[in-house]
Structure 1
Amino acid sequence: MVGGGCVKTSQIRLLDVESGQSTLLVDDLSASEPTWIGDDEFLYLKSGEKGNTTVLVDKIARPGSQAYEVTTIKARISNIKIKELTNGTVAFVCSASATPDGQLSNPATAKKPYSSAKVYTSLFVRHWDEWLGEDKNSLWYTALEKKNGRFTLTGHGLVNALAGSKLESPVPPFGGTGDFDISPTGLVFVAKDPELNPALYTKTDLYYVPLKTFTEEQPPSPQIVETPGLEGYTNSPVFSHCGRKVAFTRMRSKQYESDKPRLMLLPDIGDLSKTEEFFATDDGEGAWDYRPETILWSADDKSLYVTAEKNARVHLWEVPSNPADARDTPSVIMTADGSVNDIRLLAEADSSSKLLVTSTSLVDNSCYSIVDPSANTTDILSSNSKQGKTFGLSRSSIGDITFKGAGDYDVHALVVRPSNFDEKKKYPLCFLIHGGPQGAWQDGWSNRWNPAVFAEQGYVVVSPNPTGSTGYGMALQNGIKGQWGGRPYEDLVKAFEHIEENMPYVDTDRAVALGASYGGYMINWIQGHPLGRKFKALVCHDGVFSTLNQWSTEELFFPIHDFEGTIYDNRAGYEKWDPAQHVNEWATPQLIIHSELDYRLPITEGLAPFNVLQSKGIPSKLVMFPDENHWVLKPENSLVWHEQVLAWINKYSGVEKETQEVREMAVVEDKRQKPM
């Protein structure tokens, strides 16, 4: 049992970019989404009883005492965006759940059914951590006007922009404000193709709803933006400041969720049939080999600032906003150490304005900096952890290694050493394997898999980015297709060998390995192969026990792509990389963690390997969370997760014994120094 409880706080604060000091504006767990609505006022949401949401406006000069209610909506709304219109009113757009007939949905007040039965007659019955119902995400709009010094609603209240269209936005389960944008000309948004089954296809399109006043009682039907030859995910639509252009990203494949996003431009919102691709090539692969994510227009609309991952860091890049001018691949703009999370203009009216950049790193959980793209300089404005010093961490603990992979390519890994590292000593190896598999370990902060947590236990943490990893070009990433236990496994073997031969301060005889999701799959695969005997203990979080069970997942396009077909058309492709076929070789102590709300990899994928380990008499433990999904997010559960994981690896690596010996020596020394 864990005692004490966790105290959670939520604050809205104002950061002064001149002094770097912050001022408390709102201290309320129910308050969220602060949004500027003038030079000295901000709007925010406050969740209330019976599923209601109140929209409030407060003044910066006198926070709290001047807050007033704009409206209370009888539903949960979120993802607000506002835009000043030419007539002096302010467009207001948010997301909220809609009933099948297009009305606001409020589960808190809805009539409860007498039975809990759910009946389905088509694919896609559950997603991420919930069984699907009839209600869908939708976008709602209205306008605000200022009367007698206060903002009030105009028109007919919230209007469902997607009513009757069969479209859903933001796209579940993680869609948010990045799925839509607004301008004085209307609304653009991303939605799944309603004619394709979302379990089998990734296709999401960009749509436009022209709006003049945002008070239209009957919205025009959404119009699709055409992108010939590109049929995959669409993301990050952003209007230019002039309101006539839209930048966004689009993937090519409609069954590959990790395909390369192409940077795209809609030059004129008046003609949705003409879009342009940046860095396009005749072979369709594109001249820029990285994956654009966040997009921001410069104040004068002449440039795009784009985030994209490269070599375990998310960098900031500048691209001419006209694809015809983007002849050369972009260069990186200097930012603070680590990975960029978000970018904002400091002053939209100033064509030479600087950027406010939010970033994190392996030692810093929150950093704000001012970046001047024209001078390629960055000045750190504020760091919540004082660049890691609050945690006793520093950049001197972070390193990189590069080694030859299974083929003619290099593999990169991040290295994190303890803060009290002494190169004359030897530290057991903590070998982390990332999920995805199209993902990567990044130089960025995490509350779940944080290398510093393991390093501070007394390990040298090595986090390889083998075949399948993002940020190293599409060839390395795509190389995992049909190779789940092949090239990636060989890359990890090469990583271990490199550590043995080139890192004398690492004790590989006391190594432990941990992984989640695909990383959990690889832990189970390693168990049945020679590399598994190199480790004293293994930890598998929400991993794959048998690839033949991949069709119990919800997004079937994932196994169809990675295993090169359906299980009935290419069963051999699934069997080839099945960890369950090698359980006769399992021998290493293993901790298994799995959660009941993980519909991506159902709980049986954790129960089965635990049953095998127990039946074979191999030291093993199962930790199950009934109220978590693919991630462990609740604070008390996270504490238990860390206690269980650290206790397991410390026991088998010898760190637990070393820690106890240090404590006993400290007690003896304390007694020796005390006077008799």
Structure 2
Amino acid sequence: MSKSGITVNDLLKFSFISDPQVSPDGNWVVFVKRTIHKQKDYQSSLYVMNIQTRELIPFTQGDNRDTSPRWSPDGKTILFTSNRSGTNQIWKISFHGGEAQQVTFFKNGASQPVWSPDGRSILCTTSLKENQSIEETESDAKASKEQEKEPEPYITTRLKYKANGQGLLEEKFSQLVFIDLETGEKTQLTEGSYHHNNAAFSPDGKRVAFSANRSEDPDFTMISDIYELDLNSKILTKLTNSEGMYTAPNYSHDGKKLSILGHNMEYKGATLTRVWTLDLHSKELICLTGDWDTEVNDVAINDLATGAGSPGAVWTANDDGLYVLASERGNTHLYHIGLDQRITTVAGGKRQIYAFGLDQHRRQAVIGVSDPQIPCDLYHVSLDSRKETRLTEANQHWLLDKQVSLPDEINFTARDGLSLQGWLMKPVDFEEGKKYPLIVEIHGGPHMMYSNSFMHEFQVFAEKGYGVLFMNPRGSHGYGQEFVDAVRGDYGGKDYEDIMDAVDYVVEKFNWVDHERLGVTGGSYGGFMTNWIVGHTHRFKAAATQRSISNWFSFYGVSDIGYFFTEWELKTDKLDEPDKLWKHSPIRYVNEVETPLLIIHGEEDHRCPIEQGEQMYVALKHQHKPVKFVRFPESDHELSRSGKPKLRIDRLNEMAEWFEEYL
């Protein structure tokens, strides 16, 4: 009896593993395991594992969301963030057991816990309105919620007044708070109408580095500077020149330098992230990866939301180099970057390494891994021998009974001679000699990357009898600066041709692909491209556009990023060159659409607002074209990755039914 493939409802079975943190002595790792609770919502708990014996211990329990675990310097206590009190606050728990104790009680919650080197105090971040005191507590928030309030108008004078996942923004800003764990005394370190993040203690505990945009009007200046605050004198020093995006500062062990990630925005949002060191005495900023044509971040896409933020560039034990994640040709690897600018692969392979943690002596690492067969698991890596040992098998207990479709890498040449990479998956229960329909998947961003990682959605289509083609057209990360920049100002140009060239290649080379039964889908930029494709070719028999852009004119004003993203990506805006915006708008070509189009959109999407889908739907419906509109309540731009589980299942079922009807 053959095994069945992975189904839509199997989403409810996945465990999601993230944020591994190695204990200072290197013997234990704490991590976050997220599951879907009672098929309705997400729940996450902390687990600890002995790295040598692989003894696994559930560390926190309940229906809460416990995240961001951080070891104390002596390894005796773990800080973490939890919503168990009603809002996200910082908690601590003894590694030797006992009840968790709440550390913060801030009215607007707390996040990003950081231990001081002596373990006596911590840093965290809380959101505050101007003139709001950190002394206001959760109880104040609960009391104000219980009071019946009449509806009030929302009033703003800011350019950036809404954000995807947050809705209309209150005038609150992320501030750093210092907490003495022995006395409970709390000191607000930053203030003003600015967001302060990525805080790090100096080794002597006397200084704090962080990133912020403290320019005169942050809504108009897309920058991020690195600052250092002296905790005794309260003197704040700006360390970078307000000309780029710099984040994730980490102090060297001698306290003389910072490592940072960032760039000078030479190519706007398509600029490769580089690794830098900043000498705190001379203020000299040195780029260590200027000759490495690679994005120093994990930008691989999967739909299991495994990431937990980048630790940045982490110093070696003797400060002669840094450990970083970087994305290249469909893989994310862990690298060592020497101060001599030599680059060495620490952990490679055809996979996405989405997280890493190191012990204090830098002898070992624990990495989070996703590959075409493994949704997400942890591996131990000896940094001396580079030997790897698998630590977890989070989903093996049920995947053993499933047939997983493994992608085959394809490499082909675009019509203008550019080398391109993609992957082709066969249907589950594939039989030689038979013809199968093919679904083309297009990623968002566009400055992201399909990779050798696990995609539940692709497995669902393979189980239903489809081949799946996915590739990285120009504009994607993983192939250098020129490649990722090539889409800017040319949306729907050579990027469109790249996707069509991929389809031509597989139709010609793989005789099992039925060229009469082709489907296409994508979200965000992939939704834009799906809209563009159906207006420029009739070769697809069905299409599903998700959280898409259809009209750059309205996108400019309704998206939370439209006012700068439009200029970044099209190299113009509606005031300077309106004809260009119209030229690149898929809705301009709606009269040419013959392909049956399913439109999927979240009601609360502020990145690509639902009016983009509405325009496409009405224009097609008015012409009596085959179109269906599915609107998802309580859903933003992240519906397919972290939306409500039931709605994620509904979304996949809607697409599967649409392709079944027309393919």
Whether the TM-score (by the shorter chain) exceeds 0.5 is yes
Distance 1:440 1:573 in 2: 27
Q: Which amino acid aligns with 1:379?
A: T
Deviation at 1:487, TM superposition (A): 0.6
Matched, 1:431 2:440: yes
Q: Is the 8 A contact 2:263 2:272 kept in 1?
A: yes
Question: Which residue number in structure 1 is paired with residue 160 of structure 2?
Answer: 124
Question: Which structure is larger by alpha-carbon Rg, 1 or 2?
Answer: 1
Q: Which runs of 5+ in 1 are unaligned?
A: 145-151, 171-178, 213-218, 280-285, 654-676
Question: Which residue number in structure 2 is paired with residue 292 of structure 1?
Answer: 296
Question: Which residue number in structure 2 is paired with residue 160 of structure 1?
Answer: 188
Q: Which amino acid aligns with 1:131?
A: L
Question: Which residue number in structure 1 is paired with residue 116 of structure 2?
Answer: 83
Question: Which residue number in structure 2 is paired with residue 135 of structure 1?
Answer: 172
Question: Which residue number in structure 2 is paired with residue 635 of structure 1?
Answer: 645
SS of structure 2 residue aligned to 1:123: coil
Q: 1:417 to 1:34 in 2, by over 3 A?
A: same
Deviation at 1:579, TM superposition (A): 1.1
Distance 1:646 1:420 in 2: 18
Distance 2:190 2:103 in 1: 22
Deviation at 1:391, TM superposition (A): 6.5
Q: Which has the higher contact order (CA 8 A, sep 6+)?
A: 2
Q: Is the 8 A contact 1:340 1:360 kept in 2?
A: yes
Distance 1:258 1:110 in 2: 43
Q: Is the 8 A contact 1:510 1:536 kept in 2?
A: yes
Q: 1:403 to 1:196 in 2, by over 3 A?
A: farther
Counterpart among 190, 193, 199 of residue 180 in structure 1: 199
SS of structure 2 residue aligned to 1:355: strand
Cα deviation per residue 1:575-598 (whole Å; 9 max; x = unaligned)?
A: 221211211111111110111211
Q: 1:28 to 1:34 in 2, by over 3 A?
A: farther
Distance 2:71 2:606 in 1: 38
Q: Is the 8 A contact 2:267 2:485 kept in 1?
A: no
Matched, 1:554 2:554: no
Q: Is the 8 A contact 2:121 2:180 kept in 1?
A: yes
SS of structure 2 residue aligned to 1:29: coil
User: Could you tell me the TM-score, scaled by structure 2's length?
Assistant: 0.84
Q: 1:52 to 1:15 in 2, by over 3 A?
A: closer
Cα deviation per residue 1:184-220 (whole Å; 9 max; x = unaligned)?
A: 232111112432442x4321111111226xxxxxx71
Q: Is the 8 A contact 2:372 2:406 kept in 1?
A: no
Once the two structures are overlaid, the 10-residue window that deviates more, 566-575 or 188-197, is 188-197
Matched, 1:58 2:70: no
Q: Which amino acid aligns with 1:339?
A: Q
Deviation at 1:443, TM superposition (A): 2.0
Matched, 1:451 2:451: no
Q: Which amino acid aligns with 1:141?
A: F
Question: Which residue number in structure 1 is paired with residue 366 of structure 2?
Answer: 356
SS of structure 1 residue aligned to 2:171: coil
Q: 1:162 to 1:54 in 2, by over 3 A?
A: closer
Cα deviation per residue 1:209-246 (whole Å; 9 max; x = unaligned)?
A: 1226xxxxxx714321125xx72221222222333321
Cα deviation per residue 1:46-84 (whole Å; 9 max; x = unaligned)?
A: 435564746232333xx3xx2253645143112211133
SS of structure 1 residue aligned to 2:46: strand
Question: Which residue number in structure 2 is paired with residue 223 of structure 1?
Answer: 237
Q: Is the 8 A contact 1:70 1:153 kept in 2?
A: no
Counterpart among 339, 355, 359 of residue 342 in structure 1: 355
Matched, 1:267 2:270: no
Q: Is the 8 A contact 1:597 1:626 kept in 2?
A: yes
SS of structure 2 residue aligned to 1:383: coil
Question: Which residue number in structure 2 is paired with residue 29 of structure 1?
Answer: 63
Deviation at 1:131, TM superposition (A): 1.1
Residues 626-665 of structure 1 aligned to structure 2 (within 5 Å):
626-632=633-639, 633-653=643-663
* Percent of aligned positions that are identical: 22
Residues 7-46 of structure 1 aligned to structure 2 (within 5 Å):
8-30=42-64, 31-37=66-72, 38-46=74-82
Q: Which amino acid aligns with 1:318?
A: H
Q: 1:452 to 1:221 in 2, by over 3 A?
A: farther
Once the two structures are overlaid, the 10-residue window that deviates more, 629-638 or 368-377, is 368-377
Deviation at 1:23, TM superposition (A): 1.1
Deviation at 1:102, TM superposition (A): 4.7
Deviation at 1:441, TM superposition (A): 1.2
Deviation at 1:96, TM superposition (A): 1.1
Distance 2:183 2:630 in 1: 50
Q: 1:401 to 1:221 in 2, by over 3 A?
A: same
Distance 2:235 2:474 in 1: 44
Counterpart among 99, 115, 140 of residue 67 in structure 1: 99
Cα deviation per residue 1:2-59 (whole Å; 9 max; x = unaligned)?
A: 9985364432211121133311121123344332223343233443556474623233
Q: Which amino acid aligns with 1:541?
A: Q
Cα deviation per residue 1:600-630 (whole Å; 9 max; x = unaligned)?
A: 2221111111112222222221111231111
Q: Is the 8 A contact 1:102 1:160 kept in 2?
A: no
Q: Which amino acid aligns with 1:571?
A: P
Question: Which residue number in structure 2 is paired with residue 97 of structure 1?
Answer: 127
Counterpart among 372, 378, 382 of residue 388 in structure 2: 378
Distance 2:511 2:397 in 1: 29
Question: Which residue number in structure 2 is paired with residue 585 of structure 1?
Answer: 592
